[in-house]
Structures are given as structure tokens and as C-alpha cells.
Structure 1
Amino acid sequence: MWLMYTTSMIILILVIIVMSLATILSKKSINDREKTSPFECGFDPKSSARLPFSLRFYLIAVIFLIFDVEIALLLPMTILMQWSNITSWLIVSTLFLFILLIGLFHEWNQGALEWAQ
């Protein structure tokens, strides 16, 4: 038990040292306007290189990923029905679907699923 405690403390100390060194050594002391601007053949850039990003698109993408993962969790439930108790399977699957529907209803009420206003 002490060996595991000692090993974990040594690893924690090493991680803290490496992270501190990386933070100290990665600081850029000189901020040059030419080095931080995007490169366009030596000329000043015509416009900003940063394009505005739609926050609605990002939110829809995150919601899609969440529901996609939940569908991947729903698919094996039909196979598990054969090997498990039907009442426990029914309770777990109903609870899971209920939580999923509450999340969908919440996102719908917040207006996150509307593309245009």
C-alpha cells in the first residue's frame, strides 16, 4: 500500500514539475506585430484572418454529437433484453429514454434547435 502511495506521489510531483517547466519555457517575451499577423507575401493583410463563427452552428453540432452518442448507447439495449430480467431492462431503458426526452425538450424550449429567427 505504501509503495503505491509513494509511486503516485512521485508521479504527481514529476507531472507538476514538467507542467511548470513547460509553462515557464513556452512564454513568448517579444510580441512582434509582423510575427503575430497572418503571412500574405510580405504585404499587410487586406482583412482579418479570423472569420466570424456561428455560435448556433456550434451548438447544433454539440447537440448532434450528444444525441448521436446516446443512440449508440440505445442500440445494444435490444440485444441485452435477451439476457437480462425483463422488468429491470424495462425500467432502465424507460429511465434512459425519459432522460433523453427531457434533454431534448429542454433544448427545444431554450430555442437551441431553431436555425433561423
Structure 2
Amino acid sequence: MEESLFLTVLITGMFLVCAGLGIAILLSPSSFNAQKGQAYECGIPTHGTSWMQFKVGYYLYAILYLLFDVEAVFLFPWSTVVRQLGTPGLISILFFLLILGLGLAYAWRKGALKWK
């Protein structure tokens, strides 16, 4: 009973996705214009090539921000059940914060946080 229900839902889902994509391909207007392939930035025409190099510092900041932002998100579920976890939960989150702090200290020591 459960297997047939699962297969029915799976097949129906695949059919609806394929039908939606097929209808969109059939009904959507399609035309190619050279202007469509150009880079677009807030309505301002671009000057020169859109391929240019950026300093690696921008990428380091972005990666560090994502790293610490994602790790900070892990604190929210923990904070909702902190009383139920007790002392082992507190010790585990302190260990987590220690590793997070060591990562920040390492990035700081390597100079990844200096804006040059």
C-alpha cells in the first residue's frame, strides 16, 4: 500500500514537472538578440570588457563571512533546546565556540582580515 502510494506521488510529481517545462518551452516567445548576451548592470551601459580581475581580499572576506555566518546559524537550534541538553550540551557548544574562535584567530594571524 505505502509503496504504491510513494510510486504514485513520484510519478505524478515527475509528470507535473515535465509537463510544466514542456508547456513553458512551447508557449514562451524565443528570439535571439545580440543585446541579450551583453552584461547588464542597473541600466547603465558597460564600458570595456566585463571580465576583469578582483583582488583576492574580496574573496577571502566573502569566504570568511560565509564561514562564520553559517556557523553562527548552528547556534540558533542549540539555543532553543539548551535547557533540555544540560551540561553535556553546554560543553559541546563551548567546544564548538572554541573551534570557531581558533578559526578566527588563525585567519587574523594569517592577515586575512586586513584590508589592503
Matches within 5 A, 1:23-102: 49-54=49-54, 55-86=56-87, 88-102=88-102
Instruction: Quote the Cα distance in structure 1 between the aligned partners of 2:115 and 2:107.
Output: 13
Aligned residues: 109
Where do 4+ consecutive residues of structure 1 move more than 2 Å? Answer: 50-54
Percent identity over the alignment? Answer: 33
User: What is the match of residue 114 of structure 1?
Assistant: 114
- Which amino acid in the other structure matches residue 100 of structure 1? L
- Please give the secondary structure, in 2, of the residue aligned with 1:84: helix
Tell me how large the CA RMSD over aligned residues is.
4.4
Give, in angstroms, the shift of residue 96 of structure 1: 0.1
- Give the C-alpha shift of residue 62 in structure 1: 0.9
Q: Quick one: distance in 2 between partners of 1:83 and 1:62?
A: 34
Letter in 2 for 1:74: L
Normalising by structure 1, what TM-score?
0.54
Structure 2 residue runs of 5 or longer lacking an equivalent are 1-38, 40-46
Deviation string for 1:28-83 (max 9, x for gaps)? xxxxxxxxxx9xxxxxxxx8624433211011011101111011001222212121
In 1, the alpha carbon distance for the partners of 2:51 and 2:114 equals 23
